[in-house]
Structure 1
Amino acid sequence: MTLTAAQATDLFRAAPDRFLDVGAGEAAYRRVGAGPDVLFVHGWPVSGATFRLLLPHLVDHVTCHVIDLPSAGSSRFDADTSVSIEQHIESVRRVIDLLGLESVAVVGHDSGGMIARHAVVGDPRLRALGLINTEPSDPSWRFRAFIAARYLPGFAAGLGWVAGQPRIRRIPFVLGDAFADPSLLDGEFDEFFLAPLHDDRLRRDSATKVLRTFDMDFVTGLDDLHARIDVPVRLVWGDQDPFFPVERARVMVDTFPNATIEVIEGVGLFSHEEAPAEVAQALLPTLTGTSTGGG
């Protein structure tokens, strides 16, 4: 099938295909493409729309199942919904059950990669795993400093304010170095992820609630968890990522029984938004089971 970048983007401006009751809120669900099943798990504080530029390069090869976890995107939730990292992990498990996926590859980005690893470890239905710029077991000082800031007074209000200030958010150590090209914080990234944090108090407060449930044990124990993931794993990394430096990703490869890595030069944390064709090319052999190893 043919899916342009504009068409893929419009999928996330329209209503989702359906909503999935995951026990605490409802995950928005979209499906596109044909071939082996692949579930996409987004990170914090974005939504499934972060994969919009990747989809056109995948839909001829795999069926893409894209979700918005409760607190993000088009998902359904309210101020009383119990949103947390633990609940997100359980939500991914429930999505696989509800969709009846018997052989599934999972792709996770950023904290979505961490959530996915916890959700699918030991699941016999897991066929392969793709990880894009996500937490290693030994997080950088930059990541630790960000996590530590979540309990500062006025964090939620400050997050909303920064999200609405284009000049401020482009500053390195604010949001500017999440991309190698900080201008990408504007346009669609602003539309889908930053404007909702600035304009919608419910989404801002819910995103903050999720972040405040983050426990460092989720990452410090990852090496032991990796040893139990015996399917093919493909890591794809932007070499300009200051949050999850590529050096730590290279070390992480050896913590899996069967993993390889592809490093994309000149892109940052959102490598799949800056270089979608290259990221898709790196992922597809593992997602389709045609990988010959190496990397």
Structure 2
Amino acid sequence: MPTSSTTDPGTTELFRSPPDRYIDVGSGQIACRTVGAGPPVLFVHGWPVSGATFRTLLPHLVDHVTCHVIDLVGAGESRVEGAAGLSLEGHIRAVRRVVDALDVDRLAVVGHDSGGLIARHAMAGDRRLAALGLIDTEQPHGLSWRFRLFLASRHLPGTGAALGWLAGRPVLRRSPFVLGDAFVDRSLLDGEFDEFFLRPLATDRVRRAAAIEVLHSFQPGLVHALPDVHRRIDVPVQLVWGAEDRFFPLEWAREMVGSFPDAALTIVPDAGLFAHEERPAEVAAALLPVLTNHV
């Protein structure tokens, strides 16, 4: 079945152009792009992509909310002097500093993949958080076998070189043991996904080193702490899940709903880990009610 993924040319060009501003977060400078009108929403991407992963989603949102899309340090157009010291905990601190810099009384936050983990740890208990959208992200149950298998690769010698080599080979990266399981439609690993995320991993040594440093920093304890984190998020939470996600099991997502004081789940058919890239219209429709309800 063909996907509904379409990209507005103007939105794509947004990520081919310099960011609107840089925000100093100590470990580097985060690139921030702002587009749209309405209540403010911060978008936090996962690993190993950048804010450009939301390029297909934004056209469905910009008439309703103001979208602040960031590139975490080491990703996209962010500025970093060296990869050493990059970590998920550093990203958590950085997101808090971004929210401070946005200088808003209330905002919603959308996080995908590890960006959802980062966003939850950064914003739990923060009075400025008005709503939260989570797309295919870590779950309190722990790590699935597929995720554990992926993480195990970080301990192998030459992980960085292997990642770059595989990212630059379209046939091999479609393997289920590389990135093939991330999409239902594996052709989406080519084109813009290749341009924005895979080609830089293959050709940019600094970007690749930053990605590996963050991967090495992954601490399962951040996942195990989620039950307590979720109890401290007392705002509306919308979970959006690709029905074919192989990394974060759908059944665990169903059970995760009850770990929040106020949460709901929308399942997106014919989509995997990157549901917002494969089915942006459906993901936007699920997110908008909670993102616009905090005015």
| TM-score range normalised by the length of the shorter chain | over 0.9
| 2:83–2:210 contact (8 Å) kept in structure 1 | no
When structure 1 is superposed on structure 2, of 198-207 and 79-88 the one drifting more is: 79-88
Q: Residue deviations 1:76-109, cap 9 Å, x none? A: 0122553111110001000000110210100000
Supply the distance in 2 between the matched residues of 1:101 and 1:280 (Cα, whole angstroms). Answer: 23
User: What pairs with 1:1-295 in structure 2 (closer than 5 Å)?
Assistant: 5-79=8-82, 82-138=85-141, 139-289=143-293
Supply the distance in 2 between the matched residues of 1:47 and 1:224 (Cα, whole angstroms). Answer: 28
Q: CA deviation at 1:32?
A: 0.3
Q: CA deviation at 1:253?
A: 0.4
Kindly provide the amino acid, as one letter, of the partner of residue 32 in structure 1. V
| 2:83–2:213 contact (8 Å) kept in structure 1 | no
Q: Residue deviations 1:118-146, cap 9 Å, x none? A: 00001000000000000002221111111
**Structure 2 portions without partners, runs of 5+:** 1-6
SS in 1 for 2:68: strand
SS in 1 for 2:67: strand
SS in 1 for 2:127: coil
When structure 1 is superposed on structure 2, of 55-64 and 76-85 the one drifting more is: 76-85
Among all aligned residue pairs of Structure 1 and Structure 2, give the percentage whose two residues are the same amino acid. 64
| Greater than 2 Å deviation, 4+ residue runs | none
| 2:164–2:203 contact (8 Å) kept in structure 1 | yes
**Structure 1 portions without partners, runs of 5+:** 291-295
Q: Residue deviations 1:10-43, cap 9 Å, x none? A: 1000000011001110000000000000000000
Q: CA deviation at 1:177?
A: 1.3
TM-score w.r.t. the length of structure 1 is 0.96
Supply the distance in 2 between the matched residues of 1:34 and 1:88 (Cα, whole angstroms). Answer: 27
Kindly provide the amino acid, as one letter, of the partner of residue 231 in structure 1. V
| 1:103–1:125 contact (8 Å) kept in structure 2 | yes
Kindly provide the amino acid, as one letter, of the partner of residue 279 in structure 1. V
Structure with the larger RCO, 1 or 2 (CA within 8 Å, 6+ apart): 2
Kindly provide the amino acid, as one letter, of the partner of residue 41 in structure 1. V
Q: Residue deviations 1:36-74, cap 9 Å, x none? A: 000000000000000001000000100000000011000
SS in 2 for 1:254: helix
SS in 1 for 2:147: helix
| 1:43–1:113 contact (8 Å) kept in structure 2 | yes
Supply the distance in 2 between the matched residues of 1:114 and 1:80 (Cα, whole angstroms). Answer: 21
Kindly provide the amino acid, as one letter, of the partner of residue 281 in structure 1. A
TM-score w.r.t. the length of structure 2 is 0.96
| 1:25–1:81 contact (8 Å) kept in structure 2 | no
Q: CA deviation at 1:224?
A: 1.4
Supply the distance in 1 between the matched residues of 2:20 and 2:85 (Cα, whole angstroms). Answer: 24
Supply the distance in 2 between the matched residues of 1:255 and 1:21 (Cα, whole angstroms). Answer: 34
